[in-house]
Structure 1
Amino acid sequence: MTGPRARQEARTIGEWLGEAARRAPSASALVAEQRIGYRELDELSDRMAGGFAALGLRRGDRVCVLMRSSVACLGVWFGLAKSGLVEVPLNASSGSYLLRYFLEHAGATAIVCDAEFAAQVRECATGVESLRHLIVHGEEEGSEPGPPGLVRHRLAALAEQPPGDPGPVEPADTAVILYTSGTTGPPKGALLSHRANVNLARHTVDLLGYTEEDRLYSVFPLFHSNARYCSVMAAIEAGADLVLDRKFSASRFWDRCREHGVTAFNYQGAMMSILHKQPQRADDAENPVRLGFGAPCPPEIFTAFERRFDVRLTEIYGSTEVSIVTDMPPHRRKIGTAGSASVNYEVAVVDDRDEPLPPGAAGEIVARPVKPGWMFDGYHAMPEATARSWRNLWFHTGDRGVLDEDGYLTFLDRIKDTVRRRGENISSWEVERVVSDHPAVAQSAAYGVPSEVSEEDVMVAVVLAPGRSLAPEELIAHCAGSLTSFALPRYVRVLPELPMTPSQRVEKYKLQGEGVTADTWDREANLDAR
């Protein structure tokens, strides 16, 4: 079947998966070189749901998931959804500080992890009062027990359970908590319903015209909304095949597309710039890909990229909280922008008083859905942050942009205190907390400076405690055990004091304006010098 398909209204993820699998009995996903059909995935997730029920987990319980992309991870994801449990997918590179924060803040009853993370989880889980179960994937029988008060299980044993009765699950129930990077405070968990997840997948399919003739490709992890809803669920919805790799390889990207007959891929971060900088090949345009989808592709390479690789690009603007706010389908493209308001949202650019700004004036990007079920339901256990983000009937993105006379949006930069590095949002708050844990550091500020590749690199300015000294290499070694690898500072600068406002807030814009100075230590330059 090609073209628009008749389909029932979005209900729950479990019901949606069963319907989609029946429509596409031969479609499948290749995840980290392991293949599973969508009908098999539907059956596997039924058994996973039975296993979770056998542990006594109940509707609304929160379950953290610390797994790399795999067939088992898909089974856990959809099994939790069918059980009415709330999935909390975590970055597989989370440092110990952030992992414990997630467990405690989510109030997790259970955590599912790959065997390679079991020791880290044991260490971080000790003393987390809500946690009762540690479920390990890829572990043999007879492994050491969990920490005191935590029962250890093998995921394979849970998958052997017969399907259970999940009980009532409603479309408006929370399906997932996706943690977004902290800005001026700790990371926030966006509450997303079953209906919101299914709506995003269906909108992606409608926007891009995916059919069962397509084969989608993603290199992003399953704790990202990009891979989850715009690749995995979009492929299932369209009845298309899926190829999901665990990492991005610029040198092998197009060969992977040729090898698997890929027709569409998702992109974000510096991915397009990196691909464009690869040495040109005579067969660059000889690939099966018809379109790429995401943001941002720098406008200065947009047309050249399309021509070189014979691919059509579709840019969007959105976030975890509000999905695809603007888009640029083929019939209304304006290169250099993120498109105009999608059919599901209103978008505006406002000043500090939330008054709309005229075309061409820069301000904060705000958005709101035109019907229910298209945005997040708030931040978990953070009512004040929820109220701040959703004021005057608009969701405040924390991003700065411009709308032109025709309603096309251009993203400019972030108002929020995050660093964007190679497609990852890095919490300045997290970096500062870890840096400041070093006994020689009295004060720290983390911020982004322009990268020669694209986006930003992480820089920290530190003030040392009286009478203390600290080598930059020592500070990086201190951070390495607690920060994700992509959040490790590249640049370190030691200052006698930080610029402060009268209210004692660091004036980071002054530090960013100074950039990489002569007295700045560069981790990559020092690695190259060895």
Structure 2
Amino acid sequence: MESTRGTVAELVMQGWNDHRTGLWFEGRSLTRHEVAAGAAARAALFADLLEPGDRPHLGVLLHNTPEYPLWLSAAALAGAAVAGINPTRGGAESARDLLHTECRVLVTEQAFRPLLDGLDLPGVRVLVTDTDDCADLLAGYEGVEPDDSRATPADRFLLYFTSGSTGAPKAAICTQGRLVAAGRSLVRHFGLGADDVHYICMPMFHGNAVIADWAPALVSGAAIALRRRFSASGFLEDVRTCGATYFTYVGRAVSYVLATKERPDDRDNPLRLGFGTEAGVVDAAAFERRFGVRLVEGYGSSEGGAAVQRTAGTPAGAIGRAAPGDDLAVVDPVTREERPPAVITGDGRLMNGNEAIGELVNRGPHHFEGYWRNPAADAARRREGWYWTGDLFYRDADGFLYFAGRTDDRLRVDSENLAAAMIEGILARYRGALSVAVYAVPDPVAGDRVMAAMALDDAGSFDPDVFAAFLAAQPDLGTKMAPRFVRVVEVMPVTATNKIHRVGLRREGFRCADPVWWRPPEESGYRRLTDGDVAGLVAEYRARGREELLPPAVVRPAVGDRRP
């Protein structure tokens, strides 16, 4: 039965007298009562660790072990906020994130202890969960009953970091009330209930796992099943073992599962729904054919400012329409004028991208609660009374919205604005393409040039003549869209949340360790980029005073060192 309670703490409390299974992990389980009891003990310990005047902010640097939801629940009872620390950012960056969010306690595990070696963390108490010292501390609080009296819907609960594609990541604020509202919305939208089992395989330092998976489980009273780290090969076995019915995903996770070896019993599983972003139309259809599980692509600004909901009749490729209460528009970020409707062919090709693509804004009330200690970023999101998502979209004549990438991924080529996601959609049609990323490298004169990284089913099969002919045959490929450089990778680099690591690709540019093919000016075909070509390009940048825009060179193999 769905709860109508208004704080996360109250949702934790309702498990106190419930002895149904609440959590699965690596063959072990906890009842909902044991989860509530564990949360109460940790909340009391956390309160005693704080000094007078300390902000009740808790850093969590953990894999998806039971300790993660236990400390989230403890923070809710304590009226505290959790800053999820991304272990892939490195030690110095983790220290920056902890100090920026003013965490006075950091909960971690022995696997991440080396990450903290040598770091200056003044005033931060470190608890290592899988040690006798931590167990002894918690033993002193055994038997403490949960108390939700300190929590209110307005309490900060999450300080979760954005991806940080430019500069240091920003810590978005999510209150207890907003998290409960988000969980309640998903429960209603998808018909989730207490008999469901939510499989959490995405990292819990990321908003997707907490907001879209853990929160609706709390609201409905469902059990959760944890995977320490995402595993494509272990996905189906986990789902069957714990009886998972619902899961969330981001980035390339779905494609990695699809890349595992097919078996005749793949459809023999309890799943009924997957919810996430960036699976893509092709992979979503393939997943449903193979596993009998519907994937629903959704869009919600992680900061809470805008949402798009998929409804019956949503065309292939579209995300959906504006969620109830949102006044969404696709606008020119400079003039604020609405973009014209998209012209889309019967096979889903966008024919007027340069005119139709703009930034998605919410002109009505929104739930953005700000960034922690970042007034400039707050102002940029809220400028001129609108909420600016930072995401590119286009809208068809019937009002359906289509995602076209991040504003950070927009390229400006010969004074024309291009959306990387649109070019990626075209290149993904190339024979054998498993994954595609499009990004900007600086032009020697002004603006950008288009570069693409492509992972193929056979990394040595790239044929420059076939590729050039393919581009020439694409009716929706504008004259400025064809990549100047094509990097062929064996495996597409990804972040900890399985999203393509575009920042790393941009940083390396065309002077990378992988084979690169390029189309020289005034030429229609592609050829292998040589050291001599690179030297000539660098000299051109230097002559025009733009060499400093190039990323540092990476040691490149000679052309003959790898298959062409």
TM-score for the superposition, normalised by structure 2: 0.70
Q: % of aligned pairs identical?
A: 27
Paired position in structure 1 for 2:63 = 68
Aligned pairs (5 A) from 1:82-161: 82-124=77-119, 126=120, 128-129=121-122, 131-141=123-133, 154=134, 156-158=136-138, 160-161=140-141
SS in 1 for 2:160: strand
- Change beyond 3 A, Cα 1:472–1:323: same
The answer to whether 1:410 aligns with 2:402 is yes
User: Unaligned regions of 5+ residues in structure 1, if any?
Assistant: 142-153, 421-425, 429-444, 464-469, 474-492, 512-516
Count of residues paired in the alignment: 447
Aligned pairs (5 A) from 1:194-205: 194-205=176-187
Moved more, 311-320 or 447-456: 447-456
- 8 Å Cα contact 2:87-2:94 kept in structure 1: no
Paired position in structure 1 for 2:230 = 248
Aligned pairs (5 A) from 1:93-492: 93-124=88-119, 126=120, 128-129=121-122, 131-141=123-133, 154=134, 156-158=136-138, 160-161=140-141, 162=144, 168-322=150-304, 325-329=307-311, 331-352=312-333, 353-360=335-342, 361-367=356-362, 370=365, 375-416=367-408, 449-452=453-456, 456-457=500-501, 458-459=504-505, 461=507
Aligned pairs (5 A) from 1:28-67: 28-57=22-51, 60-67=55-62
TM-score for the superposition, normalised by structure 1: 0.74
Shift of 1:281: 2.3
Shift of 1:92: 2.9
- Change beyond 3 A, Cα 1:306–1:356: same
Superposition RMSD in Å: 3.9
SS in 2 for 1:210: coil
Distance 2:111 2:386 in 1: 42
Shift of 1:178: 0.4
After superposition, the C-alpha distances for 1:285-329 in whole angstroms (9 at most, x for unaligned) are 222221111122222343343233212221101232027711214
After superposition, the C-alpha distances for 1:356-392 in whole angstroms (9 at most, x for unaligned) are 2222210012236746xxx331111110111011112
* Aligned with 1:496 (options 538, 541, 553): 538
Distance 1:309 1:33 in 2: 23
SS in 2 for 1:392: helix
- 8 Å Cα contact 2:42-2:71 kept in structure 1: yes
Distance 2:546 2:175 in 1: 39
Distance 1:207 1:505 in 2: 52
Moved more, 189-198 or 78-87: 78-87
- Change beyond 3 A, Cα 1:160–1:230: farther
Distance 1:368 1:27 in 2: 44
Q: Which amino acid aligns with 1:459?
A: L
Distance 1:363 1:106 in 2: 33
Distance 2:26 2:324 in 1: 35
Shift of 1:333: 3.4
- Higher Cα Rg, which structure: 2
- 8 Å Cα contact 1:368-1:393 kept in structure 2: yes
SS in 1 for 2:87: coil
Distance 1:84 1:178 in 2: 16
After superposition, the C-alpha distances for 1:46-102 in whole angstroms (9 at most, x for unaligned) are 111111122235674322111111222222111122112221111133302211211
User: Unaligned regions of 5+ residues in structure 2, if any?
Assistant: 343-355, 411-419, 422-436, 440-448, 457-490, 493-498, 515-533
- Change beyond 3 A, Cα 1:234–1:59: farther
SS in 1 for 2:282: helix
Shift of 1:166: 7.3
* Aligned with 2:75 (options 74, 80, 98): 80
- 8 Å Cα contact 2:23-2:223 kept in structure 1: yes
Q: Which amino acid aligns with 1:239?
A: G
Distance 1:335 1:24 in 2: 42
SS in 2 for 1:93: helix
SS in 2 for 1:265: strand
Shift of 1:22: 5.8
Distance 1:164 1:280 in 2: 46
Q: Which amino acid aligns with 1:8?
A: T
Q: Which amino acid aligns with 2:280?
A: P
- Change beyond 3 A, Cα 1:159–1:15: farther
- 8 Å Cα contact 1:364-1:396 kept in structure 2: yes
- Change beyond 3 A, Cα 1:399–1:503: farther
Paired position in structure 1 for 2:428 = none
Distance 2:315 2:323 in 1: 14
- Change beyond 3 A, Cα 1:61–1:9: closer
- 8 Å Cα contact 1:292-1:314 kept in structure 2: yes
- 8 Å Cα contact 2:329-2:361 kept in structure 1: yes
- Change beyond 3 A, Cα 1:507–1:358: farther
